[in-house]
Amino acid sequence: MEKLEAELASLRTRAETLNSRHAAADAEFIDAKSKLQRHHLEADLNTDDRVRAKLEATVAACAMTRDGYADALAEVQTKVADAEQKLAAERAAAERKSASEQLARDLDVVELALPDYLAAGKRFADALEKLHFHHESGAMALFIGNTATQVEVAAGFALVELRGMVDAIRDGITPIPAVKPASASVPAPEPSPPTETVFMMKSAKYRDHDGRSRFAGQWEDATMPVATAQRALRLGVAVPVTDPKRARLRGTRGGDFNPRAPDVVDLDAVEEPKSVPHANPVLSGANFTPLPTAAPRTILIDVQRS
């Protein structure tokens, strides 16, 4: 194969040189023929025979040189095609030989591992037979025994067929087996950022986890980032979806919203009052009444004495 590659490289170099010289010779022929034609059109045809003969000799010489290069180029190109065909055949033969030898090695590994597999399966099945009183163990023993028998029979046929493929691949009777496609690993999906759904008491706008601007209409449910939802609850812009007002007011606006209205609250820009402690919306909705703390209180509890 290396000898063919070197020969092919030499032939291609010669073909390029011949092609270049043929082009130059063709240009000289065209120029000489043009000069002869101009002589026929402009010179004295009765007295300039010597000049005409010289021009004709030049045209003939240029034509002979051009045609010589053309014939040589055609022959070299034929040799290039033959060398390329031989090289392709050598490469295909080398690939078939490599593939057949690889298959033979793979079959050696299978034939070496098969007895170990069958023996291990039999040992495992025999161990499970001792647990015959357990349904799942008995079922596993039966399955392993049946599988081992089927594998042994199938391997007998498959290995004989595959051994025959070794010579068939090397001789070009059977094509080279296709390469096993690489399994593309599917990336695990990234977990979605946490969100919270609230019931809007006022129309508001906010930005989601991706920084996109969102609009939440009054008296509609809105799902937003947890921090934004908690801010809306603290500001009274929204209430939990468990609030009784949701059942009464939800959808009563009928979708009549103007996201650019001046009363739309910007939850990302509005500042929370610093003097008012943050209230838990769940506790606020429970309507607990604080006990007075001006005077100590005494509570009597009945306790059963033992």
pLDDT in tens, 164-178: 999 999 988 989 888
CA distance 103 to 25: 56
Alpha-carbon span 198 to 193, nearest angstrom: 16
The DSSP line for 62-88 is HHHHHHHHHHHHHHHHHHHHHHHHHHH
The whole-angstrom separation of Cα 201 and Cα 270 is 16
CA distance 114 to 39: 92
Strands 204-207 and 265-266: parallel
Contact between 20 and 73 under an 8 Å Cβ cutoff? The reply is no
CA atoms of 293 and 287, how far apart (whole Å)? 18
Most confident of 89-98, 172-181, 284-293: 89-98
pLDDT of residue 272: 77
User: What pLDDT is attached to residue 298?
Assistant: 56
Would residue 133 be called left, alpha or beta, if left means φ above 0 and alpha means ψ between -120 and 50 degrees?
Answer: alpha
Distance CA 241, CA 222 (A): 10
Strand order in the sheet with 265-266: 213-216, 204-207, 265-266
| Joined tokens for residue 114 | 């098969």
* C-alpha span between 156 and 133 (Å, rounded): 34
Query: Token match 């799902």: residue?
Result: 223
Residue with the bigger pLDDT between 192 and 64: it is 64
Each residue's pLDDT tens digit, 246-266: 989 998 888 888 888 889 999
- Determine the Cα–Cα distance for residues 128 and 137; give it in Å rounded to an integer: 6
| Predicted local confidence at residue 128, as pLDDT | 86
CA–CA separation, 212 and 208 (whole Å): 6
Could you list the beta-strand ranges (E) of the chain: 195-200, 204-207, 213-216, 221-225, 238-240, 265-266
Q: Is the pTM of this model over 0.85?
A: no
Do residues 225 and 194 touch, judged by C-beta distance below 8 A? yes
What does the pLDDT look like over 124-135, one tens digit per residue? 888 988 887 888
Measured CA to CA, the distance from residue 284 to residue 289 in angstroms comes to 10
113 by Cβ neighbours in 10 Å (0-12 / 13-18 / 19+) ranks as: exposed
Segment among 43-47, 203-207, 211-215 with least mean pLDDT? 43-47
Residue with tokens 């003097």: 275
**Helix axes 49-129 and 135-170, enclosed angle (nearest 10):** 160
Find all residues with CB under 8 Å of 94, minimum gap 6, and list them. 1
Q: From residue 158, give the alpha-carbon distance in Å to each of 122, 155, 190, 248.
A: 21, 5, 44, 74
pLDDT band at 293 (very low <50, low <70, confident <90, very high): low
Please report the pLDDT score of residue 130 as a whole number. Answer: 86
The tokens 């399994």 sit on which residue? 183
User: Does position 300 have pLDDT exceeding 60, yes or no?
Assistant: no
Q: Closest Cα to residue 245, out of 281, 197, 200?
A: 200
* Cα-to-chain-centroid distance, residue 38: 68
